[in-house]
């Protein structure tokens, strides 16, 4: 399921909160405009997150259809279900994999922060606590926070 979700990124870019923060609060935004955004430091609003998620879903749906178009019908149906399960959290497994993907994103962000010091790591940690409900993944996120943020002020 995780691999199928990531396959879509062959044709659809992955966005960060910094991309969402660059979106204007009011008005519409096109796919072309999103693809040309310059990431902006800070915490995006709920409205900005919704806008980028809507564009991301359109791009990933198009990518998924392109990737799976030539598969045999049964395999195509299974791949689409797994992709939808991840996207919509249809099963406990789908919800877990999506949350695990967020933890991977946190880990990558903390690595960038450690190496470059250019991300606002405390915002990433705050966000992960908002989107993760699985107790094991929350515990892992706490371990990451302790490991990376021993000397930092949150």
> Which regions in the chain score pLDDT beneath 50?
154
pTM of the shown model: 0.77
**Cβ contact 28:79 at 8 Å:** no
Question: If we measure between CA atoms, which residue out of 135, 115, 139, 113 comes closest to residue 124?
Answer: 113
Report the pLDDT value the prediction gives residue 79, as an integer from 0 to 100: 94
Report the pLDDT value the prediction gives residue 154, as an integer from 0 to 100: 45
- Distances in Å between the Cα of 128 and the Cα atoms of 43, 76, 84, 109 are 13, 32, 22, 11
Angle, helices 73-88 vs 92-116, to 10°: value is 70
Report the pLDDT value the prediction gives residue 90, as an integer from 0 to 100: 94
């Amino acid at each position: 399921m995780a691999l199928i979700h990531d396959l879509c990124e062959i044709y659809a870019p992955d966005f960060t909160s910094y991309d969402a923060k660059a979106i204007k609060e009011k008005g519409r935004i096109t796919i072309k405009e999103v693809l040309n955004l310059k990431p902006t430091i800070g915490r995006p609003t709920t409205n900005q997150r919704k806008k980028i998620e809507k564009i991301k879903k359109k791009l990933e749906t198009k990518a998924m259809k392109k990737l799976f178009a030539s598969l045999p019908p049964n395999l195509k149906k299974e791949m689409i279900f797994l992709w939808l399960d991840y996207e919509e959290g249809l099963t406990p497994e789908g919800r877990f994999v999506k949350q695990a993907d967020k933890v991977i994103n946190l880990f990558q962000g903390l690595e960038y922060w450690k190496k470059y010091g250019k991300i606002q790591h405390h915002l990433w940690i705050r966000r992960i606590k908002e989107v993760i409900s699985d107790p094991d993944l929350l515990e892992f996120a706490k371990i990451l926070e302790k490991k990376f943020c021993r000397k930092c002020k949150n």
